[in-house]
Each structure stands twice: as structure tokens, then as C-alpha cells.
Structure 1
Amino acid sequence: MNRAWTITVDGDNIAWLTFDLFGEKVNKFNAAALSDLESVLDEDLGGSVRAIIIRSAKKDSFIVGADINELAAIDGVDDARAKADAGKAVFDKLAARQVPTLVVIHGACLGGGLEFALACRYRMVTSHPSTSLGVPEVNLGILPGWGGTLRLPRLIGLPQALKMILGGRPVDGRRAMKLGLADAIAAEPFVEDEARRFIESVLTKQGQREVVRRRRRCVGRMARLLSAMPIGRALVLRQARRQVMARTRGHYPAPLAALEVVRKTYPGSLAAGAAIETEAFAGLAGTSISRNLVWLFQASQRLRKAHPSKGGAYPVRRAAVIGAGIMGSGIAWSLARSGINVRLKDVSWDAVASGMAAAAAAFRSLVKRRKMTKYEMNMAMHRIAPAIDDTGFDGVDIVIEAVAEDMEIKKTVLRAIEKSVRPSTIICSNTSSLSLDEMAGVLKHPERFVGLHFFNPVPRMPLVEVVAGPLTSNDTVVAAAELVKKMGKTPMIVSGCAGFLVNRILLPYLIESAWMFEEGVQPQRIDRLLEDFGMPMGPLELVDEVGLDVGYKVAKVLEEAYGPRMHVPEALGAVAETGGFLGKKSGAGFYKYRKGRKRPNRRVERLARDARREDGITARDLTDEQIVDRAILIMVNEAARCLEEGVVAEPEALDMAMVMGTGFAPFRGGLLRYADERGVVLIRDRLAELAAEFGERFKAAPLIEKLAGNGGRFYSDRAA
């Protein structure tokens, strides 16, 4: 039997406890690993052992947390309670050791991994970029259930602990030191020697006092006062709750439950608080929200690991981007950050300088957030070479055009690219809606042409659609998808059609919202209701963010492709074509924007009245339910068509694309999981009602009719 935990005692009577989960690239706590740890802790090491140092045998990884598959398999409150208590019992044994325990953290130390580290007396981190410490459980719809909500506030103070617990974001090694979460830091090659020196220090009274004093300094006097006084704790907790509600609108119960656990247990004893934490964990695990969030995490991991299909390796070392605007500069930034040298070309030095400034600003943001050092930023910026001609293009492996969304301009650019590059160079378009088949028609070698649709803003959006045309070679698709992975993003392979996948599903949602606006519903009401449903931003505010000119242009492209079901209301055109109403970038669209605030734009409401006359419709008094169903179910309907047509292979991929590309309510698990949970039969019937009242665009897609007719679901393997 291969043990996960081994312990050896060296000549200095220091025990080295090593975690190496057999058959896995990373360490994680499953039931077997916890049981094995408990067995090791129960062993009699003899009275001569002076200290225990704990480490990982995995490369650049400590413990990534609990086994996500075991979390997904939790069956009810009793099962969840048992799992929480089992982990606590083992960690309490570790915390009860009489000799000093030092955990050496190199790489990811997350969730249950950090809770394990908190049960040790001391923590040492490495300065390596891979080192990160956090409790991301709220992102899975649960809370730390192995003592994290109890030990973390007592170590680093209430304000910083709540920030980590409620936000779910990890900190790096240097930040852990500043917080007092870590007691020492070392460069990875010397960490073993530094661990020995640290242990020798804390085996003395003086060394122990130094650690205590340092922790107090890290927490700070004000945080200690706030944490110690009831009124101070009340202020901190009240502020934390306001921030959670502003961020989640109450859709995610886990942060609020964690906040309540801390309120009830801090600063009481760990023993008294343990049962409260366990009950809160058990109440969250296995709920529909937790199941959906866990499923999304698992699906995202599967997508990142998946290889699109068999194909030849084509490593990209040098790239070029044509167009230094918002998208082009973002793509160049992402390439440079991933270690790829890139030429950024535009028609003038002013345009190139603007793109270089945008890339530099994105890098400065990383430096400010301690995700990158200034030296690393400078090295990355040196990978971007500005250009106004094709010099050096004969040496690049891939070229990505990101020029204006105009077919003739793109064709001209693509012809010029093909003349300037090697026969093996991959040529990509970043179009969001234009026909790739038409573009490919101007190329002599369309087999090396592929769509790479990045989403705006590129530095933040994790999804890239890899769009294969009928003549695109398999090797080209594979190489493009692998490049996207190297850039730290998730490739979604889709077939070519107008709007591809995400925009084809999203645009009906935006168009339908514009129809409701034309029918007399105020933009703020539409947006509020869809935000209450769980969308990150209301549809009409989203159009303002994208730009009404851009949104209207894309909507017309899809109307031309799909006909009456995507007919664009006169109101959207009226607003888009009215001088100055371009959205946020011009200061006015569906809303007026000034000094970081938005307010209703009464002029566009007058335009809606005029548009009603042009379209021959009357104002409607819509219910809240009608507004939400019209916006959401029209997306479900188009998603069913995409699945049936093979635009994407699986419902899982479609749901992940909508969550990652549009921010579709993650707690609902995705568009098609939402449809399954609501019931395909009920959705078919509701679409029929909407079609009778609002038009044939709501006629149920054939796949929905088929599934409803045989009692099926989009996810056939899910229990009803």
C-alpha cells in the first residue's frame, strides 16, 4: 500500500512529515489521506523528537484543498457534518502536539490545505510566484469547515480574516508574511535549511517571543482594538455584510453564513465554535447552489485539461497582432505576459503608442495587486515590439488580426498578412460576428486560418472561442487552442456561424431587452430585474458598456443571418444612430454617465415612443415575470438550437461558455442547467405562451420540443 504521509526522524531529532498523494500531480485531502494522516499522528515518535516539520513532495504545490469529487458526492446534512467533524478531529490532533510544528508551504495552499496549516504552530512560505494561501470555499457555495473560520481571525485579526474568508481570494507568500499568516519566508532552493534554522530559533524562549511580537505588529493596533471590543467587532461585521450584499445581491448564502459563524464564535473558544462551524458547513454543502458552483469548478478544470483533438504540435514562440486598439493591445498584453514575443502593428505611431500604453497600464495593475514585480513587468513590456509595417512578420508563428469589425477592411488586412508570413504561419481573426468563411475566401491557404474570438476586456475575460471553418486544418485548431491555454485562458472550440456561440446566444437577450424598452419598460427596471435574476449587469447597461454603435452593428449582422427571430427593434437603431448616444464611452446611452455615476437618460425614452410608431406597436404593461422570462428563455431557446446544430459539442461546454463569456449567473450552474432545473416541459409551455403573446421568435426550438416530448433533459445523466 502506498502511504500518502511518511515520517522520518533525522539526526537532530527533528521529524519530517511529508505529504505525497500517490498517483496525483497535486496533494489534496480525500478520506484516505485524512485517515493516513491521523494514523501517522497517532504513532509514538518517542520522547527525543524536538519538533515536526511538514512539507509536500509535489513540485510547486503544497495542498490544493479537499478532494472536489468527494465534496460533490456529499449526500445530505448528516454526511456533510461527518466530513467536517472528521477533518476537524485530525487537525485538532495536529494542533495538540506538544512539540513545535512548522509547515513549509511552497505552491498552492488552499482551502483545507490552509486550514491544515493553521492547525500547525508555525508557518513558513516560499517567495516563489506559485505560492498562494487562501480559503476559496465561498466560491464553491460552502465555508471553511475544518476550523478555518475559527483559527484565521484569531491569527491575523478580524478585518483581514473576513477579507480572506468572504472574498475567497488567495494571497501570495509575501502578502502572507505582511498579514502575519506566515512567520517566515525563504527562497525555494534554501527552504529546508531555513526551516531548520527557524525551528532551532523557536525552540528557545527568545525565538518564541519574537514570533509573538511579530504577529502582533502584523495585525496592527487598530485591528486588535476592533477585534477585541464588542462595538468594534460589530462595526467590522456590519461593514463586511454591506460589502457582501453589494457584491452578491444576496444570491450566494455562503459568505453570509461564514460571517454569521464568525460573529457567533469570535473571540470564544475553538471547542465551542467548532460545532457552530460544522452546522453551518453542513447546511450549505449539498444545496443546489453549492452543487452548481462545484459542478462549474469541475467543468472548468475539465476544459482546461482537455486536448481538443489529435494533431501535430506547433509551439508558438513569436506572434504578431494587427490593430493596437482595445482588443489588439489586450491580446498583445496577454501574449507578452505568457512569455511570447509579439509585434504590435497599426497604421500610425500614435495608434501603436496608445496600444502600448494600454498594455503597460494592464501590467501596472498586476504590479499594484502584487501579481507581478516591476522587473517582471519591464521584461514583459520588452516582449512587445511596436510596428507600423510588416518588418519581422516572416519570423512569426501566428498572426492575429484585431482591426475594425468591417469585412472589407479585414479582407484587405488578411491578404496582406498572407503575403508577409511563412507558409506555416497560422493566421487568425478576432472577429466577434463576421463570416470566417467569407474571410477565408481571400486566402490561398485557408487551412491555416482560424477564428480566435477574445472577449473584452481581454486581461480579465478567461474565455476564448476557437472557431474552425470548414477548411481549417485540425492541426491549426489544436495549435490555436494550445496557444490560448498557454495564455492562461480557456479555449472553447466552436463551429463557424454568425455570432459563433456566445454572441449568438447573448444577442437575442440584448435584442429582446431592447424590444421591451421600446414597449415602454424603463431601462432601469429591466436591468434591475435581470440583475436580481443573477446577471452581473443589466442588459441595457451592458449595451452601454459595449457601445451602442458596436452592439447595433453586431445585432444587424445576426438579424441578416437568422432573420425575423433576431429582428432588431427600431428603438435600438434610433438610440445608436442619434448623435452622442454611443453608451458609456460618449457619456450617454440608455443612461447618462458622469463622474462615475449613472442616471436615467430621459431623451432615449422619448426615442422609444417614436420607435413604437415606426414599428407599429403599442406600449405594454409587463409583469416582472414576463420581463425575466422574455430575456432568459429566448437565450435558452437559441442555446438549444446551437446544441442541435453542433455549434458546440456538449451542454457542459455551452454552459461554461456562457458563464465565462457573459457572467451568466454562476449559482444557477449555467443556462442549460437552469433549464433542466426549471423543467424542459415547463419551459416549452412557457415559450408557447410567450410566442402567442409576443411573436414567433419564441417558438420552441426543435430540440426543446423533442426533450419535452420524451421527458428528457439537456443533461441526460443528471437525476430528475
Structure 2
Amino acid sequence: MSNGPMYSGQSIRVTALADGLAELCFDRQGDAVNKFDARTVQELKEAGEALAQAKDVKGLIVTSAKDVFIVGADITEFGANFERSEEEIAAWAFEANKVFSAIEDLPFPSCTAINGFALGGGFEMALSTDYRVMAATAQVGFPEVKLGIIPGFGGTVRFPRLTGADNAIEWIAGGGQNKADAALKVHAVDAVVAADKVRDAAIALVQQAIAGKYDWQARRAQKKGPLKLDPIETMMVFGTAIPFVQGQAGKHYPAPVEAVKSIQKAAGKSRDDALKIEGQSFAKVAKTTVADSLVGIFLNDQFLKKKAKGYIKAGKKVEQAAVLGAGIMGGGIAYQSAIKGTPIIMKDIADKALDLGMSEANKLLSKQVSRKKLTPEKAGAILSTIRPTLNYGDFGNVDIVVEAVVENPKIKKSVLAEVEGLVKDGTIIASNTSSISIDDLSTAMKKPENFLGMHFFNPVHRMPLVEVIYGEKTSKEAIATVAAYAAAMGKTPIVVKNCPGFLVNRILFPYFGGWSMLLRDGGDYQKIDKVMEGFGWPMGPAYLQDVVGIDTSHHVGDVLAEGYPDRMSNKEFKSALDVMYEQKRYGQKNGIGFYKYEEDKKGKPVKKVDPQTAELIASVQPNGSKDFGDEEIIDRLMIPMIIETVRCLDEGIVETPTEADMGLIYGIGFPPHRGGALKYADTLGMKTVLEKAANYASLGKLYEPTESMKKMAAEGKRYFPK
């Protein structure tokens, strides 16, 4: 056999090497990574046929010419694929699997050199060869359940037969990425070597298999035969795994349990019958609205990352930042900037506040140390890049100032005017405000073009969203610089046009408005919380009010009532929120709101029912209590939220449906399996949304759909076309 090409495609080439070896190399043209799209699967089929027909090949290595091995399937193809019927999807999966089985069935030993990420279909490719050698820096795993689906290229079949059912259940249902030592421990790979030795090691292993040192046929028979479990072991393993996985995943996420059931159903079968079962299970979850939403979120996230790259190109790089106002918020902003590599000055007028800000940053860094994410030395070095100060001494060198003083327009304006006089020309000044108009604040500035809003969500280190709010006079460069700084801090920036409440609070408060009316009409606050948590919110509305802070919510409610008096006026009736506010029951911050809070051993607040709450709410229920059905509770809260999201889109507050929905998912924990308010409207269908809104027309403008919604319903359109 002469050295040279045996097969050449746009993603795959097969080359003859010395000593009867062949190399199948993944090298997707025009892309930085390898992924499995329909074309690559077709090329793999052709490459497999070429290898099967080759006369003098004695062994095969599978490699990648990229820094990664294969990152997985091409997710952009899922939409059209999943539109097919369940039977068609199952048949497609079975046909695709014949391609991987053909590689597995080649009449000579094979080994994959996993040089970088091998995820999903990429890892399943590696499992179809007899052996796997992995770079110490690489990672492998099955992230499919995070997209609402299960492995579809043989992962639920080959992996349990290689590693045992317990390990397979943990890896596949968990959806995590695993390092080399973990992969070696469960026998997912056969050797771990330095990254630059991985190809040589794969060649050496195949040569030893050819020489008879390794029984590659026994290994292959193990992967192709039934799972080695007797009936009692089978009952034990799956009997405990299914309830456990169900408990971990929760009722809204069927894929992890479906993956386990697929492994169980196929346990006693040979490979080809087992693959048919996997295909049927894959098709079943691919057709769920959960998969539709989670795949959508993945693609939306890619869109936002691409947009952030555009801002990074257009903006100025922030080398030195400053935050005005220490305390919990200022400390959180300083920590986030410093841990991601941008040094920051933290300025306040009181030592006590600076101590609080530094101790907040220190506490967050200590947590990273205790979780082994940072060494104590590294944490110390990061902390030293936060400089607390009582004066403006070094403000001449900063590129951006984030103002995070109290939410009071007068105080903010005086601080903003003061700092503007002390910074160099071109320094961007951003106000971290949750509700005050950027155009109003900009009246204090001599250069409003360098001023905008940068709204962080609490707690800063955990919440992924930053709203970047531009006013009428904000320059494009200032917007890009602040969005780029947010991205450099590891956050997702969403650029929003100034309006009362900006994007997220403006959409959240109609939901609270619907809830206030439901309580007024006799709803039970505990049942409403339970129903909305059942819908998928991390916490129901009363609990959420306690976490936000009743006083904060009351204040933002006033701002929005002034901004949108036709639908958010809070003067028409006395609400349950008003009562809590008057009683100084501010929520978690002072231990009592709709619920009362007691600290557990770790100092975390634990929610308890307070008997007085029902009495206080009863005082603002003129017609007494009433039992509402689950659907009515959901509709009365969610319809106003959908309508307000549409208004934000119609008014150009946000540019795209993607940014509107992702703002809600990242900013307030909108249930991911429902994809966001506009995706939820698509799932219901706009005609249904209008019918539901019509049921509550008597409740006023909050339930009045926009003209654009009526037009969409008439034309049968969606916010996210298939």
C-alpha cells in the first residue's frame, strides 16, 4: 500500500500511512472546529466504504486536524430535522447509525486519538472504534440532555457496554464534560498521554493490536453484545437510577430519564437492536417542546456571543475600571471585574462601606478557593487588583466608571457630575440603575455621549445578564465599549433603548400586576406560588417579591406606574404589596415579607409560612377568597408578560426576539424549558394567546394585545420561524 490519499471530502480525508495503517482525519474546511452535519455523516459513510474495500489496510487511527476532536452535532440542522414525524426521525437515526457501525465493523483494529473536546456525536465517533487514546488536556462527554435530547449516534448503546450501566447513567443523564482522569477511571478511554503524543500513542496501540498483544476482537464483541447484567442486577441498577434521575432532572426535563430507559430497554439486546431502541427514544424527545426550547436557547446564546464579538471590535478595550459606591453591589461588580482580569478602583465616602465592599469581594474569592477553582495565591493576587479608596486620586487613568450609589436621582446626578469633572477625555461613565431614566440622569452630564446605563442583576457574580441602556445622546462607541466590558466580565450584554424599567423590569412588572389583581380577586398566594413554580419559575411571585425586596419592588412599581399609567398604574386599588410595604415587611432583607425567613446552619434564609400573611392579604380582598384553577393562574400572570415583551419589540426597546427572550431567561430566571415569553407565545400559538387575552379583557389594558399580535395571528406567523 503506497502512502497517499484513499478518500478526500470537505470534512474528512483518509490517508494511507506506513506499515499497513490508515488515518481517517476530521478536518472541516473553512471552520475552526469539527462538527457532525449531514454532509460529514455522508462523508464518513463514503470513507468507511473506501476503508472496507481497501486491500492491504491492517489498522486504522482516527484523528482531528483541529484543536478540538469533534464538538458534536451541527445544532443548526436540528430545527428542520425535528420537524419530521417521530417515525421518520427514528428511521433517520437508525440509518445514520449504520455509518458508525460500519466503522466499528471494519476487519482490522482501530483507535481514536482524542486530542481536544470530543462531545456528543464527537465522543460517539470515538466510541465506534475499538480503542481510544486521550490527551491529558482533552474533555469528553454527552451534553445532549442539556438540549432536551439524548445521544443518537450509539452513545446509549456502546458507552454502558464499555463502562457499565452505573457510569453510563451518571455520564449520559448528567450531561457533563469529563476530564481525562475521570474517563480513564471508568474505562471510557484506554490511555491518557500528553497532547502532542496522542497521535503517536494511537498508532502504537493499533500496531500492538495488529501484533496480537491486545485482543481487539474481544473488545469489539463486548460493545456489540448485550449488557453484562443479570436480571437482579438490572432491577437494582435501573430501579434506583430512574427515580433518582427523575428527582434530579425535575418533571419539565424528560430527556435524562428517557436516556436511562433507553439503556434499560436495550440492555439485553445486541448492538443493532439496541440502536433501534435508541433511535425511537431519541425521536420521542426530539419532538418535545422542551427540546425545541432548549435547542433554541443554545442557538440564541450563540447569536448573543456573536453580537458581543461585534461590540468588542467596535468598542475601546477597558484596561482600568472604577466603581463608585462600595457595599454589596459595588463589591460584587469589583469582584467580577477583577476575577476576569480588569483591575478596578472602588471608591466610597465612608471607610465602613469600603470594608463591606472588600469583604464581599474577599468572601466570593474565598468560595472559589474552597471549591478548588482558585489557589489561595491566585485569589490574593486578584484581590490586590481591587483598590479601595476614599478619594478620586487615580481617576485620571480610568477607561470606565460604573456608578453604583443609592437609587436616588438627585444623589446619582451630583455624583455623576462630580466624577465627570475628574476623569480623562473619552472616559465612559455608566450608571448601574434598575429604574431611573438614562436621559434624565444624562442632564447632569457635560458629555452625555459618553454616558449610559449598565444594569447588573443581583447577585452580580451569579446573574449572567447585564442590560446596556443607551439614551438619546449616547454614542455608538460608548455602547460598544460598555457591552464589550460586560462581555469581558463574563456577562451576557443585551443592548436596550432607554425607557421606564428598561427591558427586564418593564416586562416583569406586568406579571406582578396580573398577580396583584389575582390576589385582589381572592387568589391564595401560596397556591399561586406553587402553580408558578410548577410552571417552571425558580420561585413563585410572592417568594420572588421577598427576594427582590418589597421596598425595592414598591419603588420600581412607582416608576413604572408613572411611565405606563394606562396599564401599570398602582393607584386603582390597594394591593397586597402595598400592605406588606406599609407593615415594613420588606422580605428576606429583614426576615419577613409574604413569608418569614430563618437562617439555616450555613446562614442561608429558609422560607416559612407566616399565619399573619393570609390575614393581611384578606384585608385587600373585597370579595373574600376564591379558588382559581391552575390554567387561569398561569394565564393571568403570563399573558401580560407576553404582551409587554411584544410591546418592547414593537417599540425597538430591544432589537430582536432573541434578545428579548434571553433577557428574561438570564435576568429573571424565566423557565428555560419554555424558551422565553415570545417562544412560549409561539408554543401556544398566537391565536390561542389572543383567545386567552380576550377571556380577561375586563381586567383592563394589561391584557390588551397589540396590533402586531393580531396581524401575526391572522398570518399564522411566529417570532422564531421553524
TM-score interval for Structure 1 and Structure 2 normalised by the shorter chain: 0.7 to 0.9
Shift in alpha-carbon separation, 1:480–1:641, aligned structure 2, 3 A = same
Aligned residues: percent identity?
A: 38
C-alpha distance in structure 1 between counterparts of 2:257 and 2:341, whole Å: 40
- Quick check: 1:336–1:380 contact (8 Å CA) kept in 2? yes
> What secondary structure sits across from 2:264 in the alignment?
helix
Which sits farther off after the overlay, 226-235 or 36-45?
Answer: 226-235
- Quick check: 2:311–2:481 contact (8 Å CA) kept in 1? no
Match of 1:546 in 2: 548
C-alpha offsets along residues 549-589 of structure 1, whole Å, 9 cap, x if unaligned?
Answer: 2222222221222225223443212213424x332343332
- Quick check: 1:308–1:481 contact (8 Å CA) kept in 2? no
Match of 1:184 in 2: 191
Match of 2:597 in 1: 593
Match of 1:162 in 2: 169
- Quick check: 1:446–1:472 contact (8 Å CA) kept in 2? yes
1:466 lines up with 2:506 in the alignment: no
Match of 2:641 in 1: 635
C-alpha distance in structure 2 between counterparts of 1:13 and 1:411, whole Å: 77
Written as runs of structure 1 = structure 2, the 5 A alignment for 1:43-62 is 43-44=50-51, 51-59=59-67, 61-62=68-69
C-alpha distance in structure 2 between counterparts of 1:399 and 1:36, whole Å: 53
Out of 676, 683, 708, the residue aligned to residue 677 of structure 1 is 683
Written as runs of structure 1 = structure 2, the 5 A alignment for 1:432-581 is 432-563=434-565, 565-568=567-570, 569-579=574-584, 581=585
Out of 59, 73, 85, the residue aligned to residue 76 of structure 1 is 85
Match of 1:253 in 2: 254
Which sits farther off after the overlay, 650-659 or 264-273?
Answer: 264-273
Post-superposition offset of 1:423: 1.2
Match of 2:693 in 1: 687
C-alpha distance in structure 1 between counterparts of 2:200 and 2:350, whole Å: 55
Written as runs of structure 1 = structure 2, the 5 A alignment for 1:322-361 is 322-361=324-363
Post-superposition offset of 1:348: 4.3
> What secondary structure sits across from 1:491 in the alignment?
strand
- Quick check: 1:308–1:493 contact (8 Å CA) kept in 2? no
> What secondary structure sits across from 1:603 in the alignment?
helix
C-alpha distance in structure 2 between counterparts of 1:199 and 1:582, whole Å: 68
Post-superposition offset of 1:630: 0.9
C-alpha distance in structure 1 between counterparts of 2:9 and 2:205, whole Å: 31
C-alpha distance in structure 2 between counterparts of 1:413 and 1:208, whole Å: 75
> What secondary structure sits across from 1:420 in the alignment?
coil
**Aligned-residue RMSD, C-alpha:** 3.3
- Quick check: 2:246–2:256 contact (8 Å CA) kept in 1? no
Post-superposition offset of 1:64: 1.5
Shift in alpha-carbon separation, 1:323–1:126, aligned structure 2, 3 A = farther
> What secondary structure sits across from 1:488 in the alignment?
coil
> What secondary structure sits across from 1:441 in the alignment?
helix
1:703 lines up with 2:708 in the alignment: yes
**2:195 partner amino acid:** E
What is the TM-score normalised by the length of structure 2?
0.87
> What secondary structure sits across from 1:541 in the alignment?
helix
Out of 578, 581, 584, the residue aligned to residue 588 of structure 2 is 584
Out of 125, 134, 152, the residue aligned to residue 125 of structure 1 is 134
Which sits farther off after the overlay, 145-154 or 100-109?
Answer: 100-109
Shift in alpha-carbon separation, 1:3–1:711, aligned structure 2, 3 A = closer
**1:589 partner amino acid:** G
**2:23 partner amino acid:** W
Post-superposition offset of 1:633: 0.5
C-alpha offsets along residues 603-662 of structure 1, whole Å, 9 cap, x if unaligned?
Answer: 1222112334xxx66544433332111100011121222122111122232122222322
Structure 1 unmatched ranges of 5 or more: 213-225
**2:89 partner amino acid:** A
C-alpha distance in structure 2 between counterparts of 1:291 and 1:277, whole Å: 19
Match of 2:4 in 1: none
C-alpha distance in structure 1 between counterparts of 2:18 and 2:281, whole Å: 45
Out of 158, 161, 164, the residue aligned to residue 151 of structure 1 is 158
C-alpha offsets along residues 424-482 of structure 1, whole Å, 9 cap, x if unaligned?
Answer: 22111221111111211111111111212222333333222211111100111122222
C-alpha distance in structure 1 between counterparts of 2:676 and 2:35, whole Å: 27
> What secondary structure sits across from 1:471 in the alignment?
coil
Post-superposition offset of 1:71: 1.9
Match of 1:216 in 2: none
C-alpha offsets along residues 159-184 of structure 1, whole Å, 9 cap, x if unaligned?
Answer: 34323322322233454345443443
Which sits farther off after the overlay, 294-303 or 242-251?
Answer: 242-251
Written as runs of structure 1 = structure 2, the 5 A alignment for 1:207-356 is 228=229, 233-266=234-267, 268-306=269-307, 312-356=314-358
- Quick check: 1:592–1:598 contact (8 Å CA) kept in 2? yes
- Quick check: 2:135–2:193 contact (8 Å CA) kept in 1? yes
Structure 2 unmatched ranges of 5 or more: 1-7, 220-226
- Quick check: 1:2–1:22 contact (8 Å CA) kept in 2? no
C-alpha distance in structure 2 between counterparts of 1:201 and 1:388, whole Å: 69
Shift in alpha-carbon separation, 1:206–1:324, aligned structure 2, 3 A = farther
C-alpha distance in structure 2 between counterparts of 1:486 and 1:448, whole Å: 19
> What secondary structure sits across from 1:536 in the alignment?
coil
Shift in alpha-carbon separation, 1:140–1:442, aligned structure 2, 3 A = same
> What secondary structure sits across from 1:423 in the alignment?
coil
> What secondary structure sits across from 1:62 in the alignment?
coil
C-alpha distance in structure 1 between counterparts of 2:712 and 2:328, whole Å: 42
Post-superposition offset of 1:414: 1.8
> What secondary structure sits across from 1:515 in the alignment?
helix
**1:525 partner amino acid:** K
C-alpha distance in structure 2 between counterparts of 1:367 and 1:88, whole Å: 44
**1:63 partner amino acid:** I
C-alpha distance in structure 1 between counterparts of 2:171 and 2:364, whole Å: 24
Which sits farther off after the overlay, 236-245 or 446-455?
Answer: 236-245
**2:693 partner amino acid:** L
C-alpha distance in structure 2 between counterparts of 1:99 and 1:296, whole Å: 42
C-alpha distance in structure 1 between counterparts of 2:422 and 2:231, whole Å: 70
1:142 lines up with 2:149 in the alignment: yes
- Quick check: 1:336–1:342 contact (8 Å CA) kept in 2? yes
C-alpha offsets along residues 93-132 of structure 1, whole Å, 9 cap, x if unaligned?
Answer: 333345543333344322111111222333333344xx43
Which sits farther off after the overlay, 378-387 or 410-419?
Answer: 378-387
**1:188 partner amino acid:** A
Which sits farther off after the overlay, 153-162 or 505-514?
Answer: 153-162
Match of 1:110 in 2: 119
**1:691 partner amino acid:** A
Shift in alpha-carbon separation, 1:640–1:176, aligned structure 2, 3 A = same
C-alpha distance in structure 2 between counterparts of 1:376 and 1:49, whole Å: 52
Out of 592, 598, 610, the residue aligned to residue 619 of structure 2 is 610
Shift in alpha-carbon separation, 1:312–1:666, aligned structure 2, 3 A = closer
Match of 1:645 in 2: 651
- Quick check: 1:293–1:667 contact (8 Å CA) kept in 2? yes
> What secondary structure sits across from 1:611 in the alignment?
coil
C-alpha distance in structure 2 between counterparts of 1:68 and 1:377, whole Å: 37
> What secondary structure sits across from 2:619 in the alignment?
helix
Which sits farther off after the overlay, 429-438 or 13-22?
Answer: 13-22
Post-superposition offset of 1:491: 2.0
What is the TM-score normalised by the length of structure 1?
0.87
> What secondary structure sits across from 2:337 in the alignment?
helix
> What secondary structure sits across from 1:63 in the alignment?
coil
Match of 2:101 in 1: 92
> What secondary structure sits across from 1:85 in the alignment?
helix
Post-superposition offset of 1:56: 1.9
